[in-house]
Amino acid sequence: MLKKLLLTTCILGIAFAVTAQDPPPPPPGLMIPLPADMVPPPPDAGPEAFDAFLSDVIGLIDKDGDGRISKEELMGWMASFGPPMDGEGPHMDGEGPHGLSEDMPDMEGKPSPPPCSEELRDSELGPQAEDVACGRSESVGNVIFRTVCNTDPYNSNAIVLPEGRAADCFGIEAIRGHNIVFEIVEEGGGLVWDMSMGKDAFRTLVLVGGPGGTTYRINLISADEPDASITVKFIDHPTF
């Protein structure tokens, strides 16, 4: 099904390229963005050329190389073309995918996270500081770090909120690497935040522990370097 979707996308792209004026609107569907240097073969190239082009496209999106495109890989690819968190707006200018990078204006000067390990995870279970005010809200509580790295099993980290606790005042404490794409999801629920929502939605995000407690997960979906990592910080406090 996904291969057919990609083929439809490529055909639409070719149709726009060969139409001189007023191209017809595309039919409803998912349009998958591609780098500017990935040019579909001409309409008369034949099926072998189209098969080779589709293989190249799938190879870009298929990060684990298993020959299949998972939901997470597709979401990561789509999100990498969304608005970055540096306030510069959407990157749909043909320059390729963009995530969060250590050399962005908002990120310059931030330290690199420690290497991911069980010891690091254990050290992040407790607060980094107590009785800290957010400054952007009425929140006063514990500063918490959560580091995720571009390697399994450290590419996902949990935020566990008991009932009556909340987390907000999100920010980036440390970063290593380029084009880092990450998301926050609720276990058993769905997507809470991804990079297409932008930096303001990240900074004002509020997570709440529901009845019996709620677990959220920070997932690092993709990055340029295998050792890329990011440390997310937030304030954990009682609900108002």
Whether residue 138 is predicted with pLDDT greater than 90 in this model: the reply is no
**134 and 46 within one domain:** no
Contact 187, 194 (CB under 8 A): no
**Is position 181 within any domain?**
yes
**Is position 123 within any domain?**
yes
Q: Is 125 helix (H, G, I), strand (E, B) or coil?
A: coil
Q: How many structural domains are present in the chain?
A: 2
The whole model's pTM is what?
0.62
Contact 32, 54 (CB under 8 A): no
2-18 vs 47-61: helix crossing angle, rounded to 10 = 120
Contact 107, 175 (CB under 8 A): yes
**Is position 91 within any domain?**
no
Residue 133 β-bridge partners: 140
pLDDT at residue number 78? 63
**32 and 133 within one domain:** no
Query: pLDDT tens digit string along 78-116?
Result: 655 554 454 444 332 333 346 899 999 989 899 999 999
**Is position 103 within any domain?**
no
pLDDT at residue number 79? 57
What residue numbers bound the domain in which 171 lies?
118-238
> How far apart are alpha carbons 131 and 133 in whole angstroms?
7
**234 and 177 within one domain:** yes
Query: pLDDT tens digit string along 4-61?
Result: 444 444 434 433 333 344 445 444 445 566 665 566 777 677 778 777 877 777 877 8
User: Where in the chain does DSSP place strands (E)?
Assistant: 129-133, 140-149, 156-161, 165-176, 181-186, 191-194, 207-208, 214-222, 229-238
Q: Which CATH number is 198's domain given? A: 2.60.120
Query: pLDDT tens digit string along 184-233?
Result: 999 988 999 998 898 889 999 999 999 999 999 999 999 999 999 999 99
Structure tokens at 169: 């005042």
pLDDT at residue number 57? 77
**Is position 157 within any domain?**
yes
**Is position 57 within any domain?**
yes
**Is position 86 within any domain?**
no
> Closest Cα partner for 101 from 202, 182, 209?
182
Residue 147 β-bridge partners: 231
Contact 141, 238 (CB under 8 A): yes
